[in-house]
Structure 1
Amino acid sequence: FDKWTDGQKRRILVDLLERCSLAQQKFCAKQLQDRVPTEALDFTTRLPRVLSLYIFSFLDPRSLCRCAQVSWYWKYLSELDQLWMLKCLRFGWYINFSPTPFEQGIWKKHYIEMVKELHITRPKTPSKAEFVVLDVQPVRSNDPEPKLPAAGGRTDERKALPPWRASDRHPTDTIRFNYLDNSHP
């Protein structure tokens, strides 16, 4: 058997399974399940709930909302008050009542309301009169008067495009805009 090719081994196994009874096939299936690990295994169903919540606690609110779209059980876990309460308390957002044990998702709803409130009450930009900076002197250049184009020369009012730049050593396009979690504005 060890010297046979892969195709020969497969043909023999298929032939043997076809000749086996249903009870023997179930026995073979159980043996295979024990020996071959499952490829796609949901860790939240295998780990204790406390560990799953601990893993989810490292996610930002946007990622938690995306996790809620994976399955019903992930939705249940990602909307638990134990996760969202910590995110609210980190910003000093408290609820002014004590929820009953039957109320679920209170802290997530509170988090969403507080973020909406932040969008509504944006900081006010000062008007032009209030935005006056005193003691500003114009910068004088050492160049004489600007040169005029030669006769018959044509001036192009549009500025030329800048040359191609190399890739940025510190890219900013990959920063996620979770404005409450980014350390820099």
Structure 2
Amino acid sequence: MSASSNFVKQVEQVIQNKNQKPEWLEAFLQRTYFGSCSLHPIRRNEKNRYCINCDSSACQYCMTSTTHRHHKILKIYRHVYKDVVSLGAMEKYIDCAEIQPYKCNKRLVIALNPLPHGGPTLNAETSCEICKRRLAEPDLYRYCSISCKVIAFERKSSDLAPPFLSIQSLNKAEKRKKPLKIEQPQHKRKGKPQRAPFF
């Protein structure tokens, strides 16, 4: 087998893997978080971490052990009493394009499952394609949560549809960025300050 044909097979395998849902994702979405850790009965022991390699939820003390030292870890946050994950952290593992981000403690997060606020809307153009929940920016996003995008991916009609794991195009990344604020120049005092004359 020549080196070029071997390389072509590797590229084809990478493309096929990009068109598949990650194995750990289904378990990640179904897991419950923020329960107390039975291994560490001390303060602040809620299970708010997910280890992709071990496919398990754990507390911050579990993650400091040597078993998780070089593993891929996701931290789960709470937003409107629902589980969310940092957009920046999740983008390393799946394509998060077209998922509505939310602001949580000065951090952009995306919901694991649909959030309770922004209930169903009658206008299909301004709502999530799967659960019909209202989207804040329907011209930029199509889904309200990761689980809605997973359902849409499973329903896709052909392999020509955009893959679930893909590198974001520059245009989508630019659309999501907020426009830069142009700082107005500050007006300086006119001339030099002058003292009142001494009489």
Question: Which TM-score tier does this pair reach, normalised by the shorter chain?
Answer: under 0.3
Q: Normalising to structure 1: TM-score of the pair?
A: 0.24
Q: Which has the larger radius of gyration?
A: 1
- Structure ranking higher in strand proportion: 2
Q: Normalising to structure 2: TM-score of the pair?
A: 0.23
